[in-house]
Structure 1
Amino acid sequence: MEKAQEWFNYGIELAKEFGPKLITAILIYIIGSWVIKKLISSLRQVMSKSKYDESLQKFLLNLLTWSLKVFLIILVISRLGVDVTTFAAVIAAAGLAVGLALQGSLSNFAGGVLIMIFRPYKIGDVIEAQGVLGVVKEIEIFTTKLTTPQNKLAIVPNGAMANGNIINYTAEGMMRVDITIGIGYDENIKNAKEVLLGVLTSNPKIMKDPAPSVNVSQLGESSVDLAVRPYCTPEDYWDVYFTTLENCKLALDDAGIEIPYPHSVEIHKES
């Protein structure tokens, strides 16, 4: 009983000494988190009204949110009685080891900053980078999120994005659709070109300027290959691609123009 009383008294002393600090630290954290949330929400509204670029807006808000949270944690720790100077020294000492361990993350952060500065792409652009083709959904501090044509989410590190090749299909406001269609060697090339051009000019989603074109691209083994080249907006690319491919086949069939296909010849030896 005496031992239990001693522990109880010791607990009471600890509660008296650290209780107020702990309660204050918890209140600071709760109020601080609420203030950060309200501040970020207000800044988001201001940026939206000021027509800030969506990519820059999200990047800056994410960066500010994390910075404020780190400051809040340091404030809470200092309120608990931990010497902030000592704490900072410990963080600085551990910073080198953490930095070496997180070289990739630091590179991605630097890549995100470079993307925000030089703006090779923005949210909504159709790009191809690091072997991925898709629409830019979000540019975060460390990664860029793309939505692929298969509606898959691709997450690419910003370090690789900033240091690699990027093809931005949206920057010029148009994309060229590349389709190759073969016709038989006995067919009239001029007639085939007229039929295919008719398909292109009748599609309202295909641009008039630059004008679509149909040209001989190759004399193949079994066909004369025609390069069908319409232009459209990035948003209409896949619709124009599939529609043009189908309509070209139907138009050539209606015109009686043969689209050859490989034939195999079997040789039977007489026994």
Structure 2
Amino acid sequence: MIQGTFNFDVIKAQIITAVTQYGGKIILAIVALIIGRFLIGKVTALVQTAMDKRKVDRDVQPFLNSLITVLLNVMLLLSIAGIVGIETSSFVAVLGAAGLAVGLALQGSLANFAGGVLILIFRPYRVGDLINAQGFTGIVEGVQIFNTVLVTPDNKTIILPNGPLSTSPVTNISGKGKIRVDMVFAAGSHNGVDKIRASVQRVVDACPTALKDIQHDILVTKLTENAIFFDVRVWTPSEYYWDTFYYVNEGISRQFAQDGIQAPKPAEVSVALKQ
């Protein structure tokens, strides 16, 4: 009986000691958890609002929100563990080692992922834009988290990794909504500058995709003994670049024939273009 009473008193003393030692920390940890969860909710809401204002792609918003939420929750749990008195350095070391291992194993994919996030946030190009990148020219069909999909003028699908795209030059041909189509034409010098220019002007004026509210250029760029070279620069909506290019090329060929404008000697053209 005495032994049982003694054991009860020991247990009671241990409970009191534990409550005294850890009770305040546990209460503080619970308060920190409640406040931390509240603040995480506010932060994620602010991030969501910021992404909406910056018009971040809808496909990437849930992922970014989840990533931020997970990181904040990990930080909160580590903080609570520290409040309770649990040594967190070992957890941090394990997480760091695991992160390093995963990073080394997936460094190429992570670079493409990071590039995709940057592209989706800063939008150097959008779906439907005509771009030139990594030696390829095509219309952007899709911007995915790891890759950008292009469709070339001959209807080939090109898949480019986002990592290099985010760190190398990209020419957004259609970014401004209108584009200048540059072409060079040659005719025999005996036809006369005015006659050639008038013939080219008829084609440009008749081009259905050429902008009507902007000045197009028909400029003499080179004179030789037997040839006159013209730079023809026609402004058009970006999506009609190739339509304009092919229309003007074919139209000038037909118009020259109709107006009796003769071409220079082939040898003369070849020599002039090499100079």
Q: When the two structures are superposed, what TM-score results if normalisation uses the length of structure 2?
A: 0.63
SS in 1 for 2:264: coil
**CA–CA separation in structure 1 for the residues paired with 2:123 and 2:170:** 11
**CA–CA separation in structure 1 for the residues paired with 2:210 and 2:197:** 17
Q: CA deviation at 1:89?
A: 8.6
For residue 217 of structure 1, the aligned residue among 218, 221, 224 is: 221
For residue 108 of structure 1, the aligned residue among 94, 108, 112 is: 112
Return the letter of the residue paired with 2:157. Answer: L
Which moves more between the two structures, 90-99 or 161-170?
90-99
Larger radius of gyration: 2
CA RMSD across the alignment: 3.2
**CA–CA separation in structure 2 for the residues paired with 1:161 and 1:116:** 12
The 5 Å alignment of 1:71-110 reads 93-110=97-114
Q: CA deviation at 1:154?
A: 1.0
User: Do the aligned partners of residues 221 and 117 (structure 1) sit closer, same or farther apart at CA in structure 2, a change above 3 Å counting?
Assistant: farther
Q: Deviations over 1:97-116 (max 9, x none)?
A: 23113222212122112212
Q: CA deviation at 1:95?
A: 3.2
**CA–CA separation in structure 2 for the residues paired with 1:220 and 1:90:** 75
For residue 155 of structure 2, the aligned residue among 151, 154, 168 is: 151
Q: Residues 189 and 225 of structure 2 are in contact (CA less than 8 Å); yes or no, is this contact kept in structure 1?
A: no
**CA–CA separation in structure 1 for the residues paired with 2:260 and 2:216:** 23
For residue 186 of structure 1, the aligned residue among 185, 190, 194 is: 190
**CA–CA separation in structure 1 for the residues paired with 2:59 and 2:193:** 53
Q: CA deviation at 1:178?
A: 1.1
Q: CA deviation at 1:60?
A: 3.1
Q: CA deviation at 1:91?
A: 7.2
**CA–CA separation in structure 2 for the residues paired with 1:223 and 1:102:** 59
The 5 Å alignment of 1:113-192 reads 113-192=117-196
Aligned-residue sequence identity (percent) comes to 39
Q: Which runs of 5+ in 1 are unaligned?
A: 1-49, 71-87, 265-271
SS in 2 for 1:227: strand
Return the letter of the residue paired with 2:179. Answer: M
Aligned residues: 199
Q: CA deviation at 1:122?
A: 0.9
**CA–CA separation in structure 2 for the residues paired with 1:221 and 1:102:** 63
Q: Which runs of 5+ in 2 are unaligned?
A: 1-51, 71-91, 269-275
Q: CA deviation at 1:245?
A: 0.3
Asked if 1:206 corresponds to 2:210, the answer is yes
User: Do the aligned partners of residues 242 and 261 (structure 1) sit closer, same or farther apart at CA in structure 2, a change above 3 Å counting?
Assistant: farther
Name the structure 1 match of 2:255.
Answer: 251
Q: CA deviation at 1:64?
A: 6.4
**CA–CA separation in structure 1 for the residues paired with 2:266 and 2:151:** 37
Q: CA deviation at 1:92?
A: 5.6
**CA–CA separation in structure 2 for the residues paired with 1:237 and 1:133:** 12
SS in 2 for 1:58: coil
Q: Residues 222 and 262 of structure 1 are in contact (CA less than 8 Å); yes or no, is this contact kept in structure 2?
A: no
Name the structure 2 match of 1:262.
Answer: 266
**CA–CA separation in structure 2 for the residues paired with 1:248 and 1:157:** 40
Q: CA deviation at 1:134?
A: 0.9
**CA–CA separation in structure 2 for the residues paired with 1:159 and 1:137:** 18
The 5 Å alignment of 1:62-73 reads 63=63
User: Do the aligned partners of residues 103 and 204 (structure 1) sit closer, same or farther apart at CA in structure 2, a change above 3 Å counting?
Assistant: same
Q: Residues 144 and 156 of structure 1 are in contact (CA less than 8 Å); yes or no, is this contact kept in structure 2?
A: yes
Name the structure 1 match of 2:61.
Answer: 60
**CA–CA separation in structure 2 for the residues paired with 1:255 and 1:58:** 56
**CA–CA separation in structure 1 for the residues paired with 2:166 and 2:226:** 45
Q: CA deviation at 1:251?
A: 0.5
**CA–CA separation in structure 2 for the residues paired with 1:154 and 1:220:** 42
SS in 2 for 1:108: helix
User: Do the aligned partners of residues 107 and 221 (structure 1) sit closer, same or farther apart at CA in structure 2, a change above 3 Å counting?
Assistant: farther
The 5 Å alignment of 1:4-19 reads none
Q: Deviations over 1:213-251 (max 9, x none)?
A: 211112357521111111111211111111110010111
Q: When the two structures are superposed, what TM-score results if normalisation uses the length of structure 1?
A: 0.64
